[in-house]
Amino acid sequence: MAAASSARIGRRVLLLEKNKKFGVKILMSGGTRCNITHNCDSREIVKAFGRGGKFLHSALAALSPDEVVALFESLGVATKVESTGKVFPVSNRAIDVRDALVRFAEAENATLQNLSPVTDIVNKSGVFDVQTCGAVLQSRSIILTTGGLSFPGCGTTGDGYAWAKAFGHSIVDTVPALTPLLSNCQWANELKGITIDPTAVTIKGTAPAGSKKQKPLAQTAGSFLFTHFGFSGPAAMDVSREVARHPNRKQLRLECDFLPGQKQQQLLDQLQRAKKDGGAKSVLRTVQELWPEFPKRLIESWLGEANVDGSLRLAELSAGRLNALVEQVKRSAFPLQGTLGYEKAEVTAGGVTLKEVNSSTMESKLCPGLYFAGEILDLDGPIGGFNFQAAWSTGWLAGMNA
């Protein structure tokens, strides 16, 4: 996007990519469907990025989510909005997005060179010497878009951080984000393959001495997947950055509310009503009928954890056991061991510190002619197309100014 935007205004552009294929991350994104942006306005994108969001104002003014959609449509990629607000190509093919960008940059006369790893960049009195494949190329402007450290197998090994540091930039400590969570909770691991959507998830640590309250470290709601190693799906992945950043990861736990739309008391009332109506059916059967959205395996696990014999008639269940069962639905707690790390992280949190980059141009405040865009910056958003939107917008703005 940066190469196309720069070439479009008449700059001579050379894009150097270490891989054989361009845009490998695009190809693997969104389950190979590429969630290109979110169906919202720029303000909501800013909000989604939290403390770093305001850095994106100018970039989003240069290329908003609507303009991303219009741009891709103009490049022949029709898009659709799904119920989650995620925007995908109608074709469901990430390769269409990647190919459109390559076509766009080439049509604007940018030169795209694959199999060209940059091995060093040196600034010699305002001219950058860029070393690649035995050659040294010279330019007055460079845009660093080497991404982060996630999925290192596809070329993103954090090379840009070293150059940014060499040019005087500070790097905010990086951690994997949007990555699955590890848990050795056996009963949860046995539920592998089950998805509950929506589930409200909360990360909690141990309470400070003398206090009963545990402030949540992170909270969100969305689709939640049990796996053989722990938890995945957007809800679990969206809270992973706080787990990865925590100094005592193994003291953290994940609390799940599997029926976030209903209060604890409402669920108790439903069970008590069923009990008053005779309670002749087994507890297992009653719960299956009351909340048919849950698979039998999950209900059986809740019953086990709540010390409830599911074959008992509901009428035989004490108020205490009813409460314990509802606690499982509203507040199942799982110990965490950490995350699956960079190998499976969709993004890298941390990176080139934002305060040293001019957000109106993407130019370094420390080294004239040096620009940054995309995930190399200390910016990471939630799942839902936000990270591509930030990459497209910052790339577009950097390209216009470099």
- Is there a contact between 361 and 401 (Cβ–Cβ < 8 Å)? yes
The helix/strand/coil state of 74 is: helix
Closest contact distance (angstroms) between CB of 33 and ligand FAD is 7
Distance CA 351, CA 340 (A): 20
Tokens 């200390």 correspond to what residue? Answer: 378
How many chain residues touch ligand FAD (CB under 6 A)? 30
Measure CA 233 to chain center.
10
Residue 96 is a binding residue for ligand FAD (CB under 6 A)? no
Would you say 279 or 374 has its CB closer to ligand FAD?
Answer: 374
Residue 59 is a binding residue for ligand FAD (CB under 6 A)? no
Closest contact distance (angstroms) between CB of 324 and ligand FAD is 39
Closest contact distance (angstroms) between CB of 255 and ligand FAD is 26
User: From the CA atom positions of the chain, what is the Rg in Å?
Assistant: 25
Residue 378 is a binding residue for ligand FAD (CB under 6 A)? no
Residue 339 is a binding residue for ligand FAD (CB under 6 A)? no
- Is there a contact between 104 and 82 (Cβ–Cβ < 8 Å)? no
The helix/strand/coil state of 274 is: helix
Closest contact distance (angstroms) between CB of 244 and ligand FAD is 15
- Residue from 108, 346, 363, 378 touching ligand FAD (CB under 6 A): that is 346
Asked if the bond preceding 382 is cis, omega within 30° of 0, the reply is: no
Chain positions 101 to 160 lying near ligand FAD, rule: CB under 6 A, are: 117-118, 145-147, 150-151, 155-156, 159
Q: Euclidean distance between the first and final Cα of the chain, in Å?
A: 13
Residue 308 is a binding residue for ligand FAD (CB under 6 A)? no
Cβ neighbours of 256 (radius 10 Å): 23
The count of residues in the chain is: 402
Q: Which stretch binds ligand FAD (CB under 6 A): 49-57, 98-106, 275-283, 379-387?
A: 379-387
- Residue from 14, 19, 272, 295 touching ligand FAD (CB under 6 A): that is 19
Closest contact distance (angstroms) between CB of 345 and ligand FAD is 7
Distance CA 1, CA 230 (A): 36
Residue 25 is a binding residue for ligand FAD (CB under 6 A)? yes
Residue 30 is a binding residue for ligand FAD (CB under 6 A)? yes
Distance CA 234, CA 240 (A): 10
Would you say 314 or 370 has its CB closer to ligand FAD?
Answer: 370
Conformation bin of residue 272: beta by default, left when phi > 0, alpha when psi is -120 to 50: alpha
Closest-by-Cβ residue to ligand FAD is 374
The helix/strand/coil state of 197 is: strand
The helix/strand/coil state of 329 is: helix
- Residue from 17, 242, 257, 378 touching ligand FAD (CB under 6 A): that is 17
Distance CA 374, CA 376 (A): 6
Residue 385 is a binding residue for ligand FAD (CB under 6 A)? yes
- Tell me the H-state helices in 145-295: 159-166, 186-189, 233-238, 240-245, 264-276, 283-290
Closest contact distance (angstroms) between CB of 370 and ligand FAD is 15
Q: Which stretch binds ligand FAD (CB under 6 A): 12-20, 72-80, 259-267, 269-277?
A: 12-20
Closest contact distance (angstroms) between CB of 146 and ligand FAD is 4
Q: Which stretch binds ligand FAD (CB under 6 A): 15-23, 237-245, 318-326, 327-335?
A: 15-23
* Residue 46: both structure tokens together: 């800013």
Residue 34 is a binding residue for ligand FAD (CB under 6 A)? yes
Chain positions 355 to 374 lying near ligand FAD, rule: CB under 6 A, are: 374
Q: Which stretch binds ligand FAD (CB under 6 A): 235-243, 312-320, 321-329, 382-390?
A: 382-390
Would you say 65 or 279 has its CB closer to ligand FAD?
Answer: 65
Distance CA 364, CA 169 (A): 8
Strands 142-144 and 195-204: unpaired
Strands 14-16 and 111-113: parallel
Would you say 32 or 74 has its CB closer to ligand FAD?
Answer: 32
HSE value, Cβ hemisphere, 13 Å, CA-based, for 114:
8
Would you say 222 or 385 has its CB closer to ligand FAD?
Answer: 385
Interface residue list for ligand FAD (CB under 6 A): 16-19, 24-25, 28-30, 34-35, 117-118, 145-147, 150-151, 155-156, 159, 346-347, 374-375, 385-388, 391
